[in-house]
């Protein structure tokens, strides 16, 4: 009975959001893998990461159903790299396996997903970088959805790297310090960001935390936010559709 009611409510939500403006860029802070594993008393925390990766596949399909054109996932932050080495290795192993599965199993082709790794990739082990590059190369020609995959990603580091990129290019062109400072602006920095594309319209964070924790600090200036109490592995389609409905009910002014 509960399953039937859930499906009816899901259909109602889907009908409610259909035909209304959709976020064209969705950011996802996929939080709560380890807490979910502990809550469910799973024998290995890696099980939480695997369940989270499977949930990501579902969410990508939901996004495709609604015509969302760009998605940014946050799988591993620069701060996460300081965790216990075994824990970091477990996360990276799941990421590598899942990316290969998505490409070889046909998910990326079926949904038209182009994968773009973002983050401080030089902080990652060589095998993780190769897996990210394989996925990027294999999906380069797909055009329906752009999927930014944040591994070793931090918003502060992204801003630092963007400013460095701007300065390096400016000095390489022989610009004077006065010109460099005179041309320094938000628009000048934008193209040096990891994402180099439209800013996220909506950012969803799971697991009950009400903060960005450094996610897309530059790009999220005018984003809408939705915070969900459930841990990422148990994120349901009704949670997703509620977030979309909440976004559609807001009046976006972009500071005006």
User: What count of Cα atoms within 13 Å lies in the side-chain half-sphere of residue 132?
Assistant: 23
Number of helical H runs and strand E runs in the chain: 10, 6
**Best CA proximity match to 13, nearest among 251, 250, 252, 246:** 246
Residue 225's DSSP bridge partners are 203
Residue 31 among the catalytic residues: yes
Catalytic pick from 44, 80, 141, 187? 80
* 130's tokens: 């190769």
85-104 and 126-138 helices cross at what angle (nearest 10)?
Answer: 20
Q: How far apart are CA 151 and CA 169, in angstroms?
A: 25
Pairing type for strands 145-153 and 113-118 reads: parallel
Residue 80 among the catalytic residues: yes
**Cα dist. 225→10, 32, 114, 135, 221 in Å?**
21, 17, 25, 29, 11
Active site residues: 31, 80
């Amino acid at each position: 009975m509960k399953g039937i009611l859930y499906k009816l409510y899901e259909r109602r939500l889907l009908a409610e959001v259909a035909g209304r403006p959709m976020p064209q860029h969705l950011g996802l802070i996929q939080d709560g893998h380890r807490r979910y594993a502990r809550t469910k008393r799973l024998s290995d925390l890696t099980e939480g990461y695997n369940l989270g990766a499977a949930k990501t596949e579902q969410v990508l399909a939901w996004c495709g159903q609604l015509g969302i054109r760009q998605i940014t996932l946050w799988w591993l932050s620069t701060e996460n790299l300081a965790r216990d080495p075994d824990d970091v290795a477990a996360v990276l192993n799941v990421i590598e396996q899942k990316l290969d599965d998505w490409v070889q199993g046909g998910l990326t082709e079926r949904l038209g997903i182009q994968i773009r790794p973002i983050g401080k990739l030089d902080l990652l082990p060589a095998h993780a970088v190769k897996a990210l590059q394989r996925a990027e190369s294999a999906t380069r020609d797909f055009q329906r959805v752009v999927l930014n995959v944040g591994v070793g990603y931090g918003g502060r580091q992204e801003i630092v790297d963007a400013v460095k990129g701007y300065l390096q290019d400016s000095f390489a062109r022989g610009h004077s310090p006065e010109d460099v400072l005179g041309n320094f602006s938000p628009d000048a920095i934008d193209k040096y960001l990891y994402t180099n594309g439209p800013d996220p319209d909506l950012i969803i964070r799971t697991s009950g935390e009400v903060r960005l924790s450094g996610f897309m600090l530059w790009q999220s200036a005018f984003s809408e936010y939705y915070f969900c109490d459930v841990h990422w592995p148990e994120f349901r389609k009704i949670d997703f559709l509620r977030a979309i409905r909440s976004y559609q009910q807001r009046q976006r002014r972009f500071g005006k």
